[in-house]
Amino acid sequence: MALLSSSLDSWNVFSRVNYWNIRPHRVKSSPFCVTMCSVEKSKRVWIWTENQQVMTAAVERGWNTFVFMSQNHQLAKDWSTIALIDPLFVKEGEVFDGMEKRVASICQVATPQELQKLQPSDEQADNIVIDLLDWQVIPAENIVAAFQGSKKTVFAISRTPSEAQIFLEALEQGLGGVVLKVEDDEAVLELKEYFDRRNEVSNLLSLTKATVTRVNVIGMGDRVCVDLCSLMRPGEGLLVGSFARGLFLVHSECLESNYIASRPFRINAGPVHSYVLVPGGKTCYLSELKSGKEVIVVDQKGQQRTAIVGRVKIESRPLILVEAKGSDHQTHYSIILQNAETVALIAPFQENGGKKTTIPVTSLKMGDEVLLRVQGGARHTGIEIREFIVEN
């Protein structure tokens, strides 16, 4: 049986970038995967087509890995002049990249006996693509069950978006990805719509209310302004805090002000030591952010998306300390921010719209309610770990 390995490219499903307005020749593929939600594995999409309209539609929606037959090297070369793509080539059941390195094999399954023999083994490539010649739902579930707990990533060749959906959801966990083999660009649009619908349900972070207990001017420090490659809307910001156990939702500078022009791409996030939430449920220090890194943008309702950092500015500015207690009235959290009218925390969402969305730090007082992301406190290289820890 033939097997299949992985390309580096995948679609960032948290992203809310308007891909419809991106010219294909300007699109750059990303070597990173982002989970569909914080607890799920990455879902990858490769496109197998000879139709340029399908290619363009896929690239504009963030899918950059394309599968070609070995005789179609020239087609891949032609498309590479239009968009930055990662081409893979099928030859005698194996899949190679442009440098003739074997990256995958294709396994055809036509009978129940062949399906039963399909099990993870050390001889297999790290990633496997299955071609179910007699496609059914049950074989998809059997494949998920067979490879559950293994380190293999399993793809399935899908000839319609509905097939792809079944493979991605089989036994809830789903396969690791799909190879969409189509010649109609409508199939690409439909699959993208499926991801969008799924994100609307699963792409929420749990936020809680915290009550401000102390506001104190503390002097000068090095604070970080994070400029993103995306525009932010009112109610959106970054989750930042002095301790990983509680991250405050800091608002962007998208609102009009008497003091400075609106900068909807910027968040005055806090001093260099602060934690900030990044993809994968991780945190990093604000001082570690740089051009090209990704952060999580969150709105007042907990809806999250990824955004790329375009620039980071570190400057010495006057600072203010904000402390708050959680809903248990015992755990305390803190954040340090620049003492400026344009820096604000986000208040809890009110259905009747009776409260302001933001509270400038210069107006904060004891008893004000702000939004907080509560999580585990112990971290090692930004990853949450189970360990006793005391931070003050």
Distance CA 60, CA 108 (A): 30
Q: Would you say the C-alpha torsion 153, 159, 160, 162 has a positive or negative sign?
A: negative
Residue 183 near residue 161, CB atoms below 8 Å: no
* DSSP bridge pairs for 316: 222
Residue 47 confidence (pLDDT): 96
Distance CA 71, CA 50 (A): 12
Angle at 91 between CA 89 and CA 97, to 5 degrees: 30
Q: Which amino acid is at 153?
A: T
Residue 376 confidence (pLDDT): 64
Residue 78 near residue 206, CB atoms below 8 Å: no
What is the CATH number that goes with domain 19-202? Answer: 3.20.20
How far does Cα 237 stand from its chain's mean position? Answer: 16
Q: What are phi and psi of 45, to 5 degrees?
A: -130, 120
Residue 113 confidence (pLDDT): 67
Residue 43 confidence (pLDDT): 83
Annotate 38-57 with b (16+ C-beta within 10 A) or e (fewer): beeebbbbbbbbeeeebbbb
Domains of the chain, by residue range, sit at 19-202, 208-384
Distance CA 248, CA 345 (A): 7
Residue 33 confidence (pLDDT): 34
Residue 134 confidence (pLDDT): 66
The strand pair at 304-325 and 153-158 is best described as unpaired
Residue 276 confidence (pLDDT): 96
As to burial, measured by CB atoms within 10 angstroms (0-12 exposed, 13-18 middle, 19+ buried), residue 87 is buried
Q: Which amino acid is at 22?
A: I
Angle at 82 between CA 78 and CA 84, to 5 degrees: 100
392 residues of the chain, pLDDT tens digit each? 434 333 333 333 322 222 222 233 333 333 333 333 333 456 889 999 999 999 999 998 889 999 999 999 999 999 999 999 999 999 888 888 889 888 887 877 777 666 666 666 666 666 778 888 765 566 777 777 777 766 777 888 999 999 898 888 876 677 888 999 999 999 999 998 888 777 655 678 889 999 999 999 999 999 999 999 999 999 999 999 998 889 999 999 998 777 678 899 999 999 999 999 998 778 999 999 999 999 999 999 998 888 999 999 999 999 999 999 987 777 789 999 999 999 999 999 776 555 678 999 999 999 999 999 988 655 444 454 444 455 55
To the nearest 10°, report the CA torsion of 59, 60, 62, 68: -10
Residue 340 confidence (pLDDT): 93
Closest residue by Cα to residue 363 from 207, 225, 257? 257
Architecture of the domain spanning 208-384: Beta Complex (2.170)
| Interacting residues of 269 by C-beta distance below 8 A, sequence separation 6+ | 223, 224, 225, 226, 238, 240, 250, 276, 286, 337
